[in-house]
Structure 1
């Protein structure tokens, strides 16, 4: 594809939507295209993700709260749609790409009205609500998993497996070896609950680590991302247990943290799993039980089945269970390194390249779709995981 084009990316709400959108924005920028972002107030709060990208904050309601909440949400969405239509008259985008979340909906509705090519990217193994709403009207559906639940069979012909884009700094970890782990050396643990944090990790992890054999516990070096309301109690508990730990509410240097981590204890959000599998880091996963359609449990299945992770249901996530899984993984360096390799086998390092190729093809003449993307994925085909 040649010639500068303008692409609008629509995303908002959580880091799970914003991180892959930011990765695509960077890739399209490298290819000489102009990119702008449509989001909401929550979506633009992540520091550094969209530096230098023109951003438009439009109203977008959330379909919740009963009839009154629905009415307010629809009013906001149509106001956002009207503003997006005006915006497109001036920007004339080649395509609009949605990344899920209600802030993407007005931008996509406006694109449908204006006849602009569209695509959505689904980060999870379950098609999200907004992506389900627009699946019948978009031109392409980019997926992160070979098998996506709640994607209707009639729309699978326009689905393309690309993976979930990660930041370039995380992608660079793929070429680095798993950090050396000696039998009596420092054992580095990264604890993260995603962009929102996770109280359950702050409540269980310190006590779980305290149950490890003394010789193992003394080797631990923990970096723990905690919610602001949990951080002081967690810090105190680590200190009482004499476990070396650094705590923060936000980890801006996540790629560096992943680089040295021997084991990650985390939620099973889409971006977290994409980074773990691209970097090749074994994990203990605790899916968020309240996630829509329990999508985090479904997200975790591929990595767990491959042997790169152990998944613990939150109801079973106790200090004793955590200590048990930690010992199984951590007391055998060879087994841990093997788990790292199995995690890496699930990674899709070309996700941002393949997604950018798909996006560039949206306004191309029919038949000009890039090689590798012109044949929709046959979902459930084991070859798609290779």
Structure 2
């Protein structure tokens, strides 16, 4: 806590992956006595979870596809959003502006850098996103969720800080709970999700893959799976045919509780998913979304897979036989599954929201903080001229 009330603007939109960390940061800054406002786009305004205390300002945000004919429209929208953001800054007078990536954050960050307002960006993925790459030279600090971030140029390391990816308080509260008891005769509870709409490839592959497990394992399965509405009946029939108990739904409101009960997770490798798996300590079979920009989901999965907390299967190799093989590699005995859970837990960064808030608070008041806590390690702040995680980030940017 700084002892002084300040104003901060958070710029995020488009998807929950950008907005959920912003909501978590807003809650922490509010707890510390600051005022926080959100700048987002029309889609972002519909994402649930925004704290009631935080006003939202919807600005136009241009999108830039591969067709150059659409670029003029995108640039016009960004410039209009920038003008609107500058008017907001005149009245709100933020001590700093924090961007969370994605095109909806672009107008606000361009406005803050042009107005001389301290500015930082947070990158949730293990690949620096396009907008954050565009803004990297302009901003005062870059906060990352991974020690290795592709497409982050070495020249920006002096202002880079490893903080982690903030997760929901309901999930973080489970961190100190023990891994669910799993023995030779107990249930093996499997949680399968594919994002807010479910992933069709998971619905097509997972039931048959689980059916290929050895009988001693298959007979102990208890599955919870998120599916698309149009796939529910087909998936339910597959599980019934295989004799595997399964609870299916298009959305589960109590996802944190279900994650707490699960012995094994199967799903995509989005930034929020990885952060929650490592916060709680749950082993996983990860199937990165192949069309993710810059293949960032595969990059997200690598740290966890390298640590032994997950197995990654590329979608073009994702079939029932391979899934059963990788599940058995993790769960061939109770000790192996528990060890994978512990490896996942060790990858967690439970202080992410506090460390990010510390970094944000270092703007507009006292000098930049000397040390940012990252788990049990220290990452030197930019005021000391020592890059956080030096040698970890690889140059991929041009």
Give me the TM-score of the superposition, normalised by structure 2. 0.92
Distance 1:189 1:127 in 2: 32
Deviation of the 1:231 alpha carbon: 2.9
What's the offset of the Cα at 1:362?
1.7
Tell me which residue corresponds to 2:313: 312
Task: State the match for 1:376 in structure 2.
Answer: 387
> Does the Cα contact within 8 Å between 1:309 and 1:343 map onto a contact in 2?
yes
Q: Please give the alpha-carbon distance, in whole angstroms, between the structure 2 residues aligned to 1:314 and 1:265.
A: 13
In the TM superposition, residue 65 of structure 1 has moved relative to its aligned partner by 4.3
Say which SS state the counterpart of residue 56 (structure 1) adopts. strand
In structure 2, C-alpha distance between the alignment counterparts of 1:75 and 1:229, rounded to whole Å: 39
Q: 1:14 to 1:367 in 2, by over 3 A?
A: closer
> How many residues of Structure 1 are paired with residues of Structure 2 in the alignment?
382
Q: C-alpha deviations, 1:157-195, integer Å up to 9, x for none?
A: 100000111111111111100001121111111111123
State how far apart, in whole Å, the 1-side matches of 2:369 and 2:180 are. Answer: 43
SS in 1 for 2:157: helix
Shift of 1:328: 2.6
| Structure 2 unpaired stretches of 5+ | 374-379, 394-398
RMSD: 1.7
C-alpha distance in structure 2 between counterparts of 1:379 and 1:204, whole Å: 41
Which aligned pairs between 1:143-222 and structure 2 lie closer than 5 A?
A: 143-222=144-223
Relative to structure 2, which stretch is displaced further, 74-83 or 135-144? 74-83
Alignment correspondent of 1:302: 303
1:370 Cα deviation from its structure 2 partner: 5.1
Are 1:77 and 2:78 an aligned pair? yes
Name the counterpart of 1:358.
Answer: 359
Where do 5+ consecutive residues of structure 1 fail to align?
none
Equivalent pair of 1:146/1:380 in contact (CA under 8 Å): no
Task: Give the 3-state SS of the residue equivalent to 1:229 in structure 2.
Answer: helix
Write out aligned runs for 1:228-377 (5 A). 228-369=229-370, 372=373, 373-374=380-381, 375-377=386-388
Which segment drifts farther, 68-77 or 211-220? 211-220
Contact conserved, 1:124 with 1:299, CA < 8 A, in 2? Answer: yes
> Aligned residue for 1:87?
88
Q: Is residue 119 of structure 1 aligned with residue 123 of structure 2?
A: no
- The corresponding residue for 1:134 is 135
| In 1, Cα distance between equivalents of 2:199 and 2:243 | 22
CA contact (8 A) 2:355 2:372 kept: no
Look up the match of 2:396: none
SS at match of 1:230: helix
Cα displacement (A) at 1:367: 4.7
Contact 2:95 2:117 in 1 (8 A): yes
SS in 1 for 2:355: helix
Pair 1:370–1:30, CA change in 2 (3 A): farther
Q: Deviations over 1:191-240 (max 9, x none)?
A: 11123531111110011111123332222111111233333322232233
TM-score by length of 1: 0.95
Most deviating of 7-16 and 303-312: 7-16
- Contact 2:191/2:258 (CA < 8 Å) preserved in 1? yes
State the match for 1:6 in structure 2. 7
TM superposition shift of 1:344? 0.8
Question: SS at 1:103's partner residue?
Answer: helix
